[in-house]
Amino acid sequence: MFDIGLTTFMIIATSLVMLMTPGLAFFYGGLGSRKHILSIMMQSFVSMGISSILWFFIGYSLCFSGNMADGTDFLGILGNLDKVFLNGVTPRTVFSPDLNFPEYIFVAYQMMFAIITPALITGAFINRVSFKAYIIFLIAWQLFVYYPFVHMIWGGGILAEWGVLDFAGGIVVHATAGFAALASTFFVGKRKDKKSVPNNIPLVAIGTALLWFGWYGFNAGSELNVNHITVAAFLNTDISASFAAITWLIIEWNTGKKKPSFIGLMTGAVAGLATITPAAGYVTLPVAAVIGIVAGAGCYLAVKYKENKGWDDALDVWGVHGMGGVIGTILLGLFATTTINENGVNGLFYGGGFTLLFKQSVALLMAVGAGFFFTLGILKLINKIVPVKVSPREEKQGLDISHHGEVAHEY
């Protein structure tokens, strides 16, 4: 008999993470220009279908079949094919002897992560990538970048065996996606419309609210249990987001725009959410506040650096998610403590020395490198099959009408 309370909690957490992808679609859709709203939202929503199918076919097996300790995976990088098409997994299959809930729920929970991670990248190349090319990219990127890092860190692969920590995806999700976004920006070049402005700020607010709400399932649910670590991750998530939002607001108010920007406030919140993700279940509440402050300032500076360099990462995916993942993972190496999570290790500031910080840094370099260079390679290969970048005429006309034959607003 399953643990009814834990099973219910995991179903709720899974539902919350699912809600994040529509939230991301609203967030990006509001930030995008008027002629490209549906195209950017379509890229998020289509991931819900294609990534789910791919996860059922082969993704779950490549991520969570076998492990390096038993020599049953592929060199500690990918799982085996034992659970292709969810072979051997039934509604009665228990996830583990210690965590008495159905494995079906774990399949669904991790599937939601697989859905949203490549969708994050799309904010960087808004207005510029054809839908056909994106579909191919969506599949290839998960196979060659996302699945290996899931297995290496969460599936018992080489980085897990080495002792790398990533509570809910600072490395697996945000670092890989953020630097993939930067690579895609370099590949497709700049937008023709350099005066593109957000078309619907209230829609951005709805998206932010859904992301923030869903992130409780993203982080607290990653404990896969209901205990003191779960509640620590839950509250750490909110505190980091709040401190980051206000930090971004204050900096922007006193430097760039000289006005308190609503979009700045919301972007800061998302930066705080991304940055606390790897550390949510390993750090104390005061440290979560510090992480939020560093996230607000650090991600703001990263966005300004991007602007000064002229990189056209349209919706700041690299600055917010990529650098958020990097900052959070490094701070985890400094502030992790076994007083919060006895299954972790102590970071530098809690007597653990440089060991964890070194391991986190190496894993980050791997994620950043793979996210960036594999993405470039994938896009170059796709470009030989179908043009990745849309034509200037299509971009000017708007991808909503040129690619999808629909418009969000009548002109």
% of the chain residues with pLDDT over 70: 99
Buried b (16+ CB within 10 A) or exposed e, 137-164: bbbbbbeebbbbbbbbbbbbbbbbeeeb
- Does position 204 have pLDDT exceeding 60, yes or no? yes
Q: Which of 19, 27, 37 is nearest to 205 (CA)?
A: 27
CA dihedral defined by 325, 328, 332, 333, rounded to 10 degrees?
Answer: 70
Q: Is 59 exposed, middle or buried (0-12, 13-18, 19+ CB in 10 A)?
A: buried
| Averaged pLDDT of the chain | 96
- Does position 123 have pLDDT exceeding 60, yes or no? yes
Residues 286-297: what's their mean pLDDT?
98
Q: Please, which contacts does 385-389 make with residues 24 or more away whose CB atoms are closer than 8 Å?
A: 385/136, 386/130, 386/132, 386/133, 386/136, 387/130, 387/133, 388/129, 388/130, 388/133, 388/137, 388/187, 388/188, 389/128, 389/129, 389/130, 389/188, 389/189
The answer to which of 9-18, 87-96, 242-251, 395-404 has the lowest mean pLDDT is 395-404
Structural domains of the chain sorted by starting position, each given as residue range(s) with its CATH number in brackets: 4-404 (1.10.3430.10)
Instruction: Tell me the pLDDT band of 217, cut-offs 50, 70 and 90.
Output: very high
Q: Supply the pTM of this predicted model.
A: 0.96
**CA–CA gap between residue 6 and residue 105 (Å, rounded):** 11
